[in-house]
Amino acid sequence: MSERLVVIGGGGAGIAAATIAKRVAPDMKVTLFTEFEDIAYSPCGIPFVHGREIEKFENLFLSTVERYVEDGLDMRMETTVTDLDLDKRTVSFKGQTEGFDKLVIATGFVWEKPSVPGANLDGLHYVKNIRQAMEFDKLLDDMKKAVVIGATPLGVEMAGNLGHRGLEVHFVDEGPWALHEVLDPDVAQPVHESLEKRGVTLHFGTTLNEFLGDGNGRVRAVSTSAGEIECDVVIVCLHKLPNNDLAAAAGVKVGSTGGIMVNERMETSVPGVWAAGDVIEVPHGLTLIPIRGLTGSHAYAQGRTAGANAAGEHRAYDPVWVPWGLVGGDYTIGGFSLGETLATAVGVPYVVAKGVGVSRARYFPGATRTNVKLLAEPGTLKLIGAQIHGGEGVKERCDFLAFTAKRGATLHDIAWMENIYSPPIGALFEPMAIAAQNGLAELKKAGQL
């Protein structure tokens, strides 16, 4: 009998694990369980369909169940795994039990629910499943006022997109600025301005007290430390929590973040059991502190690692340097690893190098300002983080910096990097190099170089 691999979860990590395992070991029987009816769509696109920036939900589908079946995968759609026995090596679902030889857990995340009264009222919406989003989108046509709770990346995207759609949006967060856990205030500022231009009212530093019902079990307002805000709907965008119940109950070790602990091969504390995606924690490249809640591209790469290893290869997944980026309102921000806020919070010493450049020749139509802040280790001047805001090229520059920081690049390296100068696509001076040069000049002036 051929070896049996079971993958639990149909998101990016699960799909990647199943696909790569089948490719590496075509004789393996690969079964994938998902509780949903759909597979291989882009949940990250949902806010932009609500905001009418993407025409329709159908565009978000990237593949079909049939396609995976053709590739030889045993796809169990709308099938929730309810029990996992790691001694007997079985999964249970719909009253049945099936055996496996190897297992990949990719059960993803669940949204944190607000811990205030009224959190179970109707009208509190969570963004996740595309079918629910399609239904919800129809309801939005008749809604006028929305409250978005939580200035997380999803919160910023939902607030901006609902504003773009013409709703009156109230954006509520306890923190002093958007994404305050990771973002520096100077980088948050242009996002705030852009959200306000889209009709979003910001309520930062504002505590959530209660969701108020209309007497029929539906939310009618949100009570906050800044007063009561009437609304037709509440979008809850708090933290993503690891969906670890099944794994933890089966005896798989869970770490300090709540994520499943894995080694560099994505193998859990139980031999023959791998895990990947939003349900795991991985070490940060600089601090080696376990972190979780990364992006879809991380989930996919972890899934590939887990799947390949489950199929007999020996791949390693490196600690992460976490390039990130998003569009808040109409404004692009990004970074990698630490900003000043996070570096200060975790006690990592740093020197700062700041500069402003342009994305094309200054005089070329479409040129936008690119604001770069680099953080470096005092003494060695090795890069340890960055935050960038501006128009074009933020994503590419943050990918670049994360890659080079991982390999020990210093402010000197960036200050003297070669760069393309061609008026329609690049300015004489690369913005990252400007920042590094400024930083070195200041260190020199201060006698620290």
Applying CB under 8 A, the residues found at the interface with a second copy are 12, 42, 44-45, 48, 53-54, 59-60, 62, 295-298, 300-301, 318, 320-327, 332, 334, 361-365, 392-400, 402-404, 407, 409, 413, 416-426, 428-430
Query: Residue 369 CB, nearest distance to a second copy (Å)?
Result: 16
Query: Residue 252 CB, nearest distance to a second copy (Å)?
Result: 25
- What's the start-to-end Cα distance of the chain, in Å? 66
C-alpha triplet 385, 387, 388: angle, nearest 5°: 140
Question: Token match 């004789």: residue?
Answer: 27
Identity of the residue, 4 or 395, whose beta carbon is nearer to a second copy in the bound complex: 395
- Closest C-alpha among 134, 161, 162, 153 to residue 61: 134
Identity of the residue, 108 or 334, whose beta carbon is nearer to a second copy in the bound complex: 334
Query: Residue 383 CB, nearest distance to a second copy (Å)?
Result: 12
Identity of the residue, 64 or 416, whose beta carbon is nearer to a second copy in the bound complex: 416
Cα separation values, 73 from 39, 60, 65, 97, 246, Å: 13, 22, 9, 19, 23
Query: Residue 149 CB, nearest distance to a second copy (Å)?
Result: 21
- Closest C-alpha among 325, 275, 333 to residue 297: 325
Query: Residue 405 CB, nearest distance to a second copy (Å)?
Result: 11
Identity of the residue, 218 or 406, whose beta carbon is nearer to a second copy in the bound complex: 406
Query: Residue 128 CB, nearest distance to a second copy (Å)?
Result: 16
Identity of the residue, 207 or 422, whose beta carbon is nearer to a second copy in the bound complex: 422
Strand 168-173 to 145-149 pairing: parallel
The token duo for 16 is 């990647």
Query: Residue 296 CB, nearest distance to a second copy (Å)?
Result: 5
Query: Residue 116 CB, nearest distance to a second copy (Å)?
Result: 30
Identity of the residue, 199 or 423, whose beta carbon is nearer to a second copy in the bound complex: 423
Query: Residue 12 CB, nearest distance to a second copy (Å)?
Result: 7
> What does the alpha-carbon distance between residue 7 and residue 3 come to, in Å, rounded to a whole number?
13
Identity of the residue, 126 or 364, whose beta carbon is nearer to a second copy in the bound complex: 364
Specify burial of residue 2 (Cβ count, 10 A radius: 0-12, 13-18, 19+): exposed
- Closest C-alpha among 239, 225, 244 to residue 179: 239
For the stretch 419-423, contacts whose Cβ atoms lie closer than 8 Å and that sit 24 or more positions apart, written own/partner, are 421/361, 423/360, 423/361, 423/363, 423/364
Indicate the DSSP class of residue 200: E
> What does the alpha-carbon distance between residue 377 and residue 285 come to, in Å, rounded to a whole number?
14
Count CB-CB contacts under 10 A for residue 65: 17
Identity of the residue, 17 or 103, whose beta carbon is nearer to a second copy in the bound complex: 17
The amino acid occupying position 401 is: L
Identity of the residue, 100 or 300, whose beta carbon is nearer to a second copy in the bound complex: 300
Indicate the DSSP class of residue 268: -
